[in-house]
Amino acid sequence: MTKFADLALSPKVLKAVEAAGYETPTPIQAGAIPPALEGRDVLGIAQTGTGKTASFTLPMISMLARGRARARMPRSLVLCPTRELAAQVAENFDTYAQNVKLTKALLIGGVSFKEQDALIDRGVDVLIATPGRLLDHFERGKLLLTGVQIMVVDEADRMLDMGFIPDIERIFSLTPFTRQTLFFSATMAPEIERITNTFLSNPARVEVARQATASETIAQEVVLIKPSRRDRAAKEKREMLRALIEREGDACTNAIVFCNRKVDVDIVSKSLKKHGLNAAAIHGDLEQSQRMKTLDAFRDGELRFLVASDVAARGLDIPSVSHVFNYDVPSHSEDYVHRIGRTGRAGRDGKAIMISAPVDEKNLAAIEKLIDKEIPRAETPAKPTAEATDEKPKRSRSRKTSEPVLEETAEAAEELPAKPSRGRRGGRDNGKKVVGMGDHMPSFIAMSFAERKAS
């Protein structure tokens, strides 16, 4: 079995890896690190949670240990699709470079340009950035990319989903042709393959799992629901989520709940909290400080349920997530693999449960086709107490009056009390029973027109 000591990493890096508690590299690490240390381009294809981050941080630290950075000219560049993933990569560099004197800067949105400019001006060995913020600095004349020796593109397929491919191509054009490129992705869409053919030179291709497969340590199931009425679908779906959480019991130590829309992230999070579950939301519209605070609370065990949009589905290293609940069936089948990859990491067991309504049949079929297996159907659990506080009872009204519409049954008619009438001055009547026409109808009304005229 391959050990980290067999991968030709520098002694200082090996010491940091050992201090972090790792001895054996994952397959993607064992396959990618040796060619990276040789200076070759690397194309790494592996499912999420397989250790791709260390596959490029460890060889980069070993190679960058020699040399010195110049002002505004970083020696290496790591591109990440989201702020959270960029921050996580920065943490990995801090962990593995503790015995090496390397400078680093993190360029992400939600942070002051002034603070980031100060770091760049001093010169950095490792620049970790999201594409948009990186180009902002470049266009302001605060950054040069002509000194980049190593360039990393992490989670490339997520870059494609988020529309960053034009930015990636532009950034490639700003770096030297002689750079070394390390390119990592969970799937290989045609557009991603086109970029690798354009910008990578004879790369070492390392593919440790079939594209878009889920880890074997993750138990998957789908619960099929059919709402009783269209206007009750959302409420009943939230009830189903709580029933599934209740069914899992103590085995569900913590979980990520994925929704397709940001508005649903907030609604589901508030619903869980309203019913006594420790939950918080995270999505792209939140302030960066709030997003990081929520993630830290979830990592530290202070938060049990993280309700998230797909901004949290890629690359976030939260090693001990017991469950993933897909509240919504993802519209892109690849996202299913990335979502459930938040559990069952590093060889641990995990469980992924998805709620599917009739409108999700097409997306569910696409997911099963992608992963080449049928997801087991689970029995519908008993629903918990109805969400009394989520939705107030509605009273339908007739079109002609403001009175509630009652069922037209004899029983309802008999039980309906007489409504008291009001006098001209707003007071109530004297309690006498109101009678209609019939036996008490005045005689002149029953007279014909001729009889009335004659009289």
Q: Which residues contact 333 (CB under 8 A, 6 or more apart)?
A: 212, 363, 366, 367, 369, 370
Q: Tokens 């750079």 — which residue? A: 179
Burial of 405 (0-12, 13-18, 19+ CB in 10 A): exposed
107: region left, alpha or beta (phi > 0 left; psi from -120 to 50 alpha): beta
pLDDT at 363 (0 to 100): 95
For 110-115, which contacts have Cβ atoms below 8 Å and span 24 or more sequence positions?
110/83, 110/287, 110/288, 110/289, 111/288, 113/137, 113/140
SS3 letters for 244-270? HHHHHHHHCCCEEEECCCHHHHHHHHH
Helix (H) or strand (E) holding 207: strand 204-207
Q: How far apart are CA 136 and CA 160, in angstroms?
A: 20
Q: What is the pTM of this model?
A: 0.65
Q: Strand, helix or coil at 221?
A: strand
Q: How many CB atoms lie within 10 A of CB 121?
A: 13
Interatomic CA distance for residues 214 and 276, integer angstroms: 32
Residue with tokens 């009390």: 417
List Cβ neighbours of 177 (8 Å cut-off, separation of 6 or more).
none
* Bridge partners, residue 410, by sequence: none
Looking at the chain, the whole-number percentage of residues with pLDDT higher than 70 is 80
- Spacing of C-alpha 77 from chain mean position: 26
User: How many residues are recorded in the chain?
Assistant: 455
- Please report the pLDDT score of residue 434 as a whole number: 54
Q: Look up residue 132 and give its two tokens.
A: 């948009």
Inter-residue contact 355 to 241 (CB < 8 Å): yes
Which tens digits make up the pLDDT trace of 418-440? 444 454 454 455 555 555 555 55
Q: Using CA atoms, how far apart are residues 412 and 206, in angstroms rounded to an integer? A: 74
DSSP state of 331: S
pLDDT of residue 431: 53
CB 148 within 8 A of CB 83: no
CATH 3.40.50.300, domain 4-207, yes or no: yes
Structure tokens, 410: 């004899």
Q: Which residues contact 114 (CB under 8 A, 6 or more apart)?
A: none
According to the model, what pLDDT value does residue 71 have?
Answer: 85
Structure tokens at 61: 């630290």
**What's the mean per-residue pLDDT of the chain?**
84
Question: 218 CB contacts (<8 Å, ≥6 apart)?
Answer: 340, 341, 343, 344, 349, 350, 351, 352
Instruction: Report the Cα–Cα distance between both ends of the chain, in Å, rounded.
Output: 121
Rounded CA-CA distance 282/415 in Å is 52
Give the span between the Cα atoms of 204 and 182, in whole angstroms: 10
CATH class belonging to 218-371: alpha beta
> DSSP assignment, residue 181?
E
DSSP-derived pairing of the beta strands 350-356 and 218-224? parallel
3-state class of 325 per DSSP?
strand
Note the pLDDT tens digit of each residue in 129-151.
999 999 999 999 999 999 999 99
- pLDDT, one tens digit for every residue, the chain (455 residues): 578 989 999 999 999 999 988 889 989 999 999 999 999 999 999 876 678 899 999 999 999 988 788 888 999 999 999 888 898 899 999 999 999 999 999 999 878 899 899 999 989 999 999 999 999 999 999 999 999 999 999 989 888 878 899 999 999 999 999 999 999 988 788 889 999 999 999 999 998 866 566 778 899 999 999 999 999 999 999 999 999 999 999 999 999 999 999 899 999 999 999 999 999 998 877 777 888 889 889 989 999 999 998 765 555 667 789 999 999 999 888 788 888 988 887 678 899 999 999 999 999 999 999 888 999 999 888 765 544 444 444 554 544 444 443 333 333 333 344 444 454 454 455 555 555 555 555 666 666 666 666 65
Please say whether the beta carbons of 29 and 51 come within 8 A: yes
- The neighbour count for residue 101, using CB atoms within 10 Å, is 9
* CA distances from residue 366 to 156, 209, 370, 375, 377 in whole angstroms, order as listed: 21, 20, 6, 12, 16
Q: Where in the chain is the domain with CATH 3.40.50.300?
A: 4-207, 218-371
Alpha-carbon distance 281 to 455, whole Å? 84
Residues 78, 59: contact at Cβ < 8 Å? no
Pairing verdict, β 218-224 and 204-207: unpaired
Which region holds residue 269: left if phi is over 0, alpha if psi is between -120 and 50, else beta? alpha
Q: Are 283 and 309 in contact (CB under 8 A)?
A: yes
Rounded Cα gap, residues 401 and 404, in angstroms: 8
